[in-house]
Structures are given as structure tokens and as C-alpha cells.
């Protein structure tokens, strides 16, 4: 009995030590992944606030938005304004595969590559907008993915997933809508900004 107990003890000690080392390694990996994901997710959440509160070439985002929204920017000025925003968001997001920020019919972020477009406005008897995949979407080029009442509703994560192919998007990190103040145009004081970030 004593010999059997000693053999069992000698065999169980290395097993316990190996199991403990494996647990420590797995725990460390799990904690590391959790910290990275939390940091990444928090950084993504901060993007809309940083955009809204930033100045672009000495002009506040809200002021620039009003000019872009109401047509006071030339095409070149609007392109430059969007480019400045895109550079700041790209820098802040780092390794995220893709993102879009849409304010009504002003998309920022997916100007290059496959994206969803508010392609056609059809009125009979009620007006609605047809959302389609852009020309860069390969075999899904021109595919109709949704019918909506507002152009901004085209930029939903599920519509982009339909254009890219569902397997190309592993995770939608973030999808949220924010109210943005506008200069009063006789009908509204605000519009909405939708921000999506994908991994």
C-alpha cells in the first residue's frame, strides 16, 4: 500500500505541475485577449465623440457639416473635408478592417472599396430609396440589398455584409446612431450620424 501510494504521489505531482502551468498560460492568454479587445472596443466607441468635437483645418466639425449638408461646399471642398475626417478616424481606429460614418446622404469612410450606396429614389405612390452595392463589390456589383425611406438607413451593418459577403465580416464591433445639431432650415434642427466599425 505504501509503495502504491508513493508511486501514485510521484506520478500525480508532475501532472499537477503541468496542469497548473497550462492553466496559467491559458489564463494569461485569455486576460491579454480581453484587455486588447476592451481597449480596441473603447477606442472605437470614442470615435464619434472625437469627430464631433474636432476641428478640421481650423473649422469645427459641426460648422463643416452644415456647409456640406446644405450645399455651401464646392465638390472639392466637400471631398477635402471628408478626407480630413477619414484620416483622423483611420489613425484612431488603427487595425479595424473597415468603418463607415454616414450623415444622411453624406457617407465618410467607404469612399474606396466595396460599399452600400443610396442608389435610386423611386416615388409611386410613396417615395423610397433603393440601396445597392457599389461597382467595387465584384460579383455583388449593383445588387439591391434594401429599400428604405432615408438614405442614411442604407448604411446598416447587415447591408454592407450582404455586399461584402457575410463571411468577410467577422464582427461588427460597433453600430450606433447620434443626433447632430444643424443650422435651422425651416424644418429641422438636427439630423443623425450613424457610425459602424467592422473587424
* Closest alpha carbon to 43 in 110, 81, 82, 99: 99
Sign, CA dihedral 197-76-141-130, equals positive
Exposure of 27 in the CB half-sphere (CA atoms within 13 A) = 6
pLDDT score of 98: 72
Residues paired with 195 in a beta bridge: 101, 176
CA distances from 180 to 92, 173, 190, 192, 193 (A): 21, 22, 5, 6, 7
pLDDT score of 169: 46
By residue range, what is the domain housing residue 28?
2-198
Sheet holding 144-148, edge to edge: 116-123, 127-133, 144-148
pLDDT score of 69: 83
Q: Tell me the three cell numbers of residue 114.
A: 466595396
What tens digit of pLDDT does each residue of 129-165 get? 889 988 878 788 888 888 888 877 887 767 877 787 6
Sign, CA dihedral 26-27-30-33, equals negative
Question: Roughly how many angstroms between the first and final C-alpha of the chain, as a whole number?
Answer: 59
DSSP-based three-state secondary structure for 112: coil
Q: Tell me the three cell numbers of residue 52.
A: 464631433
**Count of domains observed in the chain:** 1
* Closest alpha carbon to 102 in 141, 46, 150, 54: 150
The answer for 186, left when phi > 0, alpha when psi is -120 to 50, beta otherwise, is left
Residue ranges in the chain modelled with pLDDT below 70: 33, 36-38, 40, 95-97, 110-113, 157, 165-173, 185-187, 198-199
pTM of the full predicted structure?
0.56
Q: What angle is formed at CA 76 by the lines to CA 101 and CA 193, rounded to 5 degrees?
A: 20
Amino acid at each position: 500500500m505504501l509503495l502504491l501510494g508513493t508511486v501514485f504521489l510521484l506520478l500525480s505531482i508532475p501532472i499537477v505541475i503541468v496542469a497548473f502551468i497550462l492553466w496559467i498560460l491559458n489564463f494569461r492568454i485569455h486576460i491579454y485577449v480581453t484587455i486588447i479587445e476592451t481597449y480596441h472596443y473603447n477606442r472605437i466607441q470614442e470615435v464619434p465623440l472625437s469627430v464631433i468635437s474636432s476641428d478640421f483645418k481650423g473649422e469645427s466639425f459641426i460648422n463643416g457639416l452644415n456647409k456640406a449638408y446644405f450645399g455651401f461646399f464646392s465638390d472639392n471642398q466637400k471631398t477635402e473635408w471628408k478626407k480630413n475626417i477619414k484620416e483622423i478616424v483611420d489613425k484612431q481606429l488603427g487595425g479595424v478592417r473597415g468603418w463607415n460614418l454616414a450623415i444622411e446622404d453624406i457617407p465618410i469612410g467607404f469612399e474606396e472599396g466595396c460599399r452600400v450606396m443610396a442608389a435610386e429614389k423611386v416615388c409611386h405612390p410613396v417615395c423610397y430609396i433603393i440601396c445597392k452595392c457599389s461597382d467595387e463589390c465584384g460579383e455583388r456589383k449593383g445588387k439591391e440589398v434594401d429599400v428604405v425611406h432615408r438614405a442614411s438607413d442604407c448604411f446598416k451593418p447587415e447591408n454592407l455584409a450582404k455586399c461584402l459577403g457575410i463571411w468577410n465580416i467577422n464582427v461588427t464591433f460597433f453600430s450606433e446612431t447620434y443626433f447632430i445639431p444643424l443650422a435651422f432650415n425651416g424644418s429641422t434642427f438636427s439630423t443623425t450620424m450613424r457610425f459602424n466599425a467592422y473587424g
